[in-house]
A and B are shown apart, each in its own frame.
Chain A
Amino acid sequence: MLLKVEKLNIALGGNQIIKNLSFSVEKGEILTILGPNGSGKSVLVKTLLGLIPYEGKITWGEEIKIGYLPQGLSQLKMQESPLTVWEFFDLKSSSPSLQDVKHFLGLVGLESSILSQVAGTLSGGQFQRVLLAWVLISHPNVIFLDEPTTGVDIAGGKTIYSLLYDIKKKENITVFLITHDLNIVYKHSTNVLCLSRQGYTCFGKPKQILNKKKLEQIFGMEVKYYKH
């Protein structure tokens, strides 16, 4: 068991965001947290990370090391200062060595010449790869990906998700994917946790979740989706 959540309740500013939620995650699984904007996906993630107070029980397994790729970490934010890619890695509390940084850049398919470039000037795909390397370099065994620019092709038909999936095959990491993109759900996830704005929740294998009726309950309207 990696994570067990029992009767979780989260309220923010008087609003009940998450109500009576229970689910569990095993080591090496990919859990997709699916729901429309405003359904509390990011709030749930921040709660699991210990950044928001809650009621109920959250139990993490032993020797958990979490990596987090937050929502809204955009290049725009990086343009506020002329930070090079190397200087961005140097911000980490662990102060990684140059050799380590080069290794992880290689893992996500980047040349080490990118280190001297200013992070704010990278292409969207390059920036996503740098971020993934930035998270992976701490050797996390659990990774949270909060809606990294969904489905963006970061080179050769690869998305941030497929790249992560490749890396996951080599290292036994557990992945939490937060998304509203149904196409990603079907492909790789072990389980899907769905949240809706109306407080409806469900948890199970993608095949059980991704049917028309359930999706309408999650997204509250007619949805188009494609079977893979």
Chain B
Amino acid sequence: MSTQLMLSLISGIFISGIAAYLGTLMLSKKMTIVAGPLAHLAFPGVALALVFGFNISIGVFPFVIVGAILIWYLEKKTKLPLENLSAIIFASGVGIGLLFLPIDKAEEALVGSIVSITPVETFLAIVLSVLVFFVTRYIYKKVILINIHEGLAKIEGINVDIYSLIYLLSIAIVVALSVYLVGALITAALIAIPPASAKSISNSFRSYKILAVLFGIMSAVLGIFISKIFGLPTGPVVVLVGVVIFLFSIIFKKSS
């Protein structure tokens, strides 16, 4: 196995695992849709990076994180639904991106660049995934309770604003990482599909989380191998493997 393939696999496993884990939390707040618009905020970052010739990740992270903070702030200020705010953020991201993005060089941003990931980037992906994992584990129960009922959470002594912000920042980091793996267009798939597959066949929250992470990692590993063997772009194949697992989960649910 080549070193490049090893790096792709390792970063793929970490990124898809954490995306699925965080996705289980987002699915229960009907928030997986937010990941898509956030990912599109990567466009302006990618555009700047390509125009000025620096590493794409340096461009992507600030934009996505500022986007998350903006969504958090606007939700607090305007009380508009998250879906609506996400649509606004989405449009701004794509709009600004298209102004500057050299379209002929945009493939990396669209379908991901995991096949050419460097050792430093792999290391960063691992560190950030592990960091987000521990943060998510810490806020998990509290966010679930906030999702069920904000007032109830407040009576339990939970600071809803702070936890919502930490939650959105975690989403932002995972989204930025996912842009590497599958590209900005289909990032939401990493976050939305594995939990959806796991949910239909789980009988507790515990099994739901474990299965989601398992399905996420399976999609990444199988996707990377299949795309390598058949010479296909990696991002779309990873997502399609996820979709196939989802279809199996529906069939399995029906037959059980």
Contact = CB atoms under 8 A, between A and B. Distances in A.
Nearest to A140: B155
B160 to A, nearest CB: 10
A81 B28 contact: yes
A87 to B, nearest CB: 5
B199 to A, nearest CB: 6
A80 B141 CA distance: 15
Given A82-B208, A83-B144, A93-B158, A46 B151 contact: yes
Contact of A87 (B24, B30, B199, B205): B205
Nearest to A71: B151
Nearest to A50: B154
A80 to B, nearest CB: 5
A81 B144 contact: yes
B155 A118 contact: no
A82 B141 contact: no
B231 interface: no
Contacts of A68: 151-152, 155
Interface residues of B, number: 26
A141 interface: no
A66 B208 CA distance: 33
B144 A91 contact: yes
B76 interface: no
A70 B147 contact: no
A51 B141 contact: no
A116 interface: yes
A218 B3 CA distance: 77
Interface in A37-91: 46, 49, 51, 66-68, 70, 72-73, 77-78, 80-84, 87, 90-91
A91 B149 CA distance: 12
Contacts of A46: 151
Contacts of A84: 203-205
A91 B141 CA distance: 5
A72 B149 contact: yes
Most chain B C-beta atoms within 10 Å of own C-beta, residue among A78, A80, A82, A118: A82
Interface string B196-217: 0001001111111000000000
Interface in B207-247: 207-208
Interface of A: 46, 49, 51, 66-68, 70, 72-73, 77-78, 80-84, 87, 90-93, 116, 118
The 6 closest A-B pairs by CB, nearest first: A81-B28, A68-B155, A93-B156, A91-B145, A70-B151, A82-B202
Interface of B: 24, 27-30, 141, 144-145, 147-149, 151-152, 154-158, 199, 202-208
Given A80-B28, A80-B147, A84-B203, 11 more contacts: A51-B154, A67-B155, A78-B148, A81-B205, A82-B202, A84-B204, A84-B205, A87-B204, A87-B205, A91-B144, A93-B156
